[in-house]
Structures are given as C-alpha cells and as structure tokens.
C-alpha cells in the first residue's frame, strides 16, 4: 500500500510538472500602461498564455537586450527610431514574419511608415503599436501660451518650469533655435555643432528649472499645484490634465514618436508574441490601451471607442493642421546618442 501511495504521488507530481512545463509564457518588455492588467487577464482567458510584463524605456530596452544578445524576452517595444541602429551595432532583433500578423488591424499609413523605417536588408523588424508626441505643456492661465522649449527659458518663468536632461529636450531646443537636427543626421560635424549650441542653451536655462523630472506623477502634481507653469513632456500628460479640466495648452510643433513591436533575437515564444500582437491590435482592446496609456493607437477604429472626454482632448491637441507640424523621429544613426550623452552629462554636472 505504501508503495502504491508513493507511485500515486509520483504520478500526480509528474502531471503537475508537465502542466507547468507546457504552460506558455510570453515575456514582454514594455513601457508602463502598455499592457494593462485587464488585457493580460483577457489574453490568458482566450489563449491560455501567461504574460510576464517587465517595465522599461528605450535606453533600458536596448541595454537589456544588448547585455544578453537578444535573450530573456519574447517581445519588446522600443520606439521605431531605435531599431536600425541597435540592430546594426548589436544584432538584438529578429525579422517579423508578416504572414503571422493581421495587417488589416493596423492603420495603413503608420504600418507603411514603420516598415519603411525598420526594414534592413529587405526584412521588416518592427510593427507600430502606439504613437504620440513630445513637446511643451503650458498652464495657460498662469503662463499664457508657451510655444516651444526656448520660450520656457524666458526670465519670467524663472524657477517655474521642468524638463528632463534627455535627448528630447536637446532636440526640441535645437528646433526652437531654428535648426533642423534631423536633417543633419547624415553630417556628423554639422549635427555636433547643432547639439552643442542647443546644449549650451539648455545649460543657460537651468536657472528657470524648478526641478528635472523623472517620474510623470511628480510632474503632474507640480502642474496641478501650480508649482510649475510649463514643462517638457508627452502629449499624454496634456490629455490627462485636460481631462481634469485644467487649462493646458500644448506644443504646436512637437516631436513625434512611434513605439513598436519587435522580436528579440533569442526570444523563445514567437507564436505567443504574434498572438499578443493580433490580440492587442483588435480595436476594442486597442481602445483599452489608449485609455491606460493616454497615447494614440496604430489600430484601426481604436480612437472611436475611447471615452468622449479623451476624444475631445485628442481633438484639441491634434486639430488637422497640427498633425502636419509633427516632426517625426527618424532612425538614429549608430554612435549618435553617445555624442548627445556627453553633452547631456555636462549639463547635468553644471
């Protein structure tokens, strides 16, 4: 009898082990609010696949995948300008198999543009997920209309603004100063001169900066309290504050980004990754991601399904003429960010 019990226990243990081993998990490396819990649970109910979410950002995504040669994750979500350069330098992605993707779920213009910017040797490496912009948010009651980051540095805003010491502020300042840094990507010496000048202006602007923000909750709270009256930040923050009935204006010539789906080079669950892509791009699911992230979706029909208040904010920030003024981030050439990093380090050290 004892032997029988032991045999039964071993059989049960084996069944549990096999069930655990066969349960599929998608390891997703993404931004905050890009994979809301409700969708993760719904995906598990539909497919039986668990989603293990690791929150990250562009720099961290590249760093993690570079450190492992593209291992440790099955799907990642860098911006479209972070595909070609890191792939050329580190070979951290694998091509997308478009036959496994429902292309009808994607807004054609965004799908086409992302494919164009992430095609290497005839192979596509990314698909669009969410898009939005970076610019200047302004409390129009307390600061009037501040149209660019350069105007935030005017003397009347001393101690009343916030920004980050990161490349978007550098690029925004270059454009505000009348330069076109994107057009100089192919000319390293010209680009260096442009960003050196922009870096000097950011350094001179430090007396206006109440604090350099790293956490969006901190930035939102400073705007709500009136501690600051203008800041460099995402359009999603403008949507959020407008939804709280604050008189928030937004940059009319912002920088545009597209966050993507990419397959890490050594991912082990490609089929699960394709299932997740097709799942979250369905309009009813994409609308939930829009509400979670306050970013625009690349999914057809998603915007029509979000609450009216969010649709109103999108219409206020993006009237038809505003879309034409967005300066979209082009693919970053290899080595360019190291040049920018030295300038940003000098600003931080001053």
Q: Both 162 and 297 in a single domain? A: no
Q: Both 107 and 236 in a single domain? A: no
| Phi, psi (degrees; rounded to nearest 5) at 30 | -150, 180
Q: Both 170 and 224 in a single domain? A: yes
For the chain, 350 residues long, give each residue's pLDDT as a single digit of tens.
444 444 444 444 444 434 333 469 999 999 999 999 999 999 999 999 999 999 999 989 999 999 999 999 999 999 999 999 899 889 999 999 999 999 999 999 999 999 999 999 999 999 999 999 999 999 999 998 888 999 999 999 999 999 999 999 999 999 999 999 999 999 999 999 999 999 999 999 999 999 999 999 999 999 999 999 999 999 999 999 999 999 999 998 999 999 999 999 999 999 999 999 999 999 999 999 999 999 999 999 999 999 998 999 998 888 877 888 899 999 988 788 889 999 999 999 98
Burial of 23 (0-12, 13-18, 19+ CB in 10 A): exposed
Q: Both 126 and 108 in a single domain? A: yes
Q: Both 246 and 197 in a single domain? A: yes
pTM of the model: 0.87
Note the pLDDT of residue 285.
98
Range of the domain at 214: 132-255+328-349
Q: Both 73 and 13 in a single domain? A: yes
Q: Both 267 and 342 in a single domain? A: no
Note the pLDDT of residue 9.
44
Q: Both 136 and 95 in a single domain? A: no
Q: Which residues pair with 134 in a beta bridge?
A: 234, 255
Q: Both 196 and 315 in a single domain? A: no
Q: Which residues pair with 273 in a beta bridge?
A: none
- For β-strands 161-163 and 209-212, DSSP reports them as parallel
Q: How many domains does the chain have?
A: 2
Q: Both 317 and 333 in a single domain? A: no
Q: Both 136 and 197 in a single domain? A: yes
CATH number for the domain harbouring residue 125: 3.40.190.10
Q: Both 33 and 83 in a single domain? A: yes
| pLDDT (tens digit per residue) in 200-246 | 999 999 999 999 999 999 999 999 999 999 999 999 999 999 999 99
Strand residues in 164-289 grouped as ranges (E):
209-212, 230-234, 248-250, 255-261, 263-264
Straight-line distance from the first to the last Cα atom of the chain, in angstroms, rounded to the nearest whole number: 78
Note the pLDDT of residue 23.
60
């Amino acid at each position: 009898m004892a032997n029988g019990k032991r045999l039964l226990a071993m059989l049960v243990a084996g069944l549990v082990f096999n069930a655990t081993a066969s349960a599929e998990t998608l390891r997703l490396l993404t931004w905050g609010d890009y994979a809301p819990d409700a969708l993760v649970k719904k995906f598990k109910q539909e497919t039986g696949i668990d989603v293990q979410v690791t929150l990250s950002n562009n720099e961290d995504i590249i760093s993690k995948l570079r450190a492992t040669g593209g291992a440790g994750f099955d799907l990642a979500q860098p911006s479209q300008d972070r595909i070609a350069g890191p792939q050329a330098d580190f070979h951290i992605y694998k091509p997308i198999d478009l036959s496994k993707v429902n292309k009808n779920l994607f807004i054609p213009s965004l799908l086409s543009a992302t494919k164009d910017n992430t095609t290497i040797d005839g192979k596509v490496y990314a698909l669009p997920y969410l898009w939005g912009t970076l610019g200047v948010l302004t409390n129009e009651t307390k600061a009037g209309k501040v149209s660019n980051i350069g105007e935030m540095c005017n003397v009347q805003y001393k101690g009343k603004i916030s920004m980050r010491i990161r490349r978007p502020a550098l690029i925004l300042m270059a454009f505000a100063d009348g330069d076109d840094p994107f057009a100089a990507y192919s000319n390293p010496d010209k680009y260096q001169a442009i960003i050196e000048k922009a870096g000097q202006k950011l350094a001179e602007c430090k007396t206006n900066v109440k604090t350099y923000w790293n956490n969006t909750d901190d930035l939102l709270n400073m705007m709500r309290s009136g501690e600051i009256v203008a800041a460099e930040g995402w359009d999603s923050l403008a949507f959020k504050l407008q939804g709280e009935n604050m008189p928030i204006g937004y940059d009319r010539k912002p920088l545009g980004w597209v966050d993507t789906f990419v397959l890490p080079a050594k991912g082990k669950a490609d089929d699960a990754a394709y299932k997740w892509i097709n799942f979250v791009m369905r309009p009813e699911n994409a609308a939930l991601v829009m509400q979670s992230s306050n970013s625009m979706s690349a999914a057809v029909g998603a915007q029509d399904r979000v609450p009216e208040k969010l649709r109103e904010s999108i219409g206020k920030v993006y009237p038809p003429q505003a879309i034409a003024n967005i300066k979209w981030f082009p693919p970053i050439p290899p080595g360019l960010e190291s040049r920018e990093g030295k300038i940003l380090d000098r600003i931080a050290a001053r």
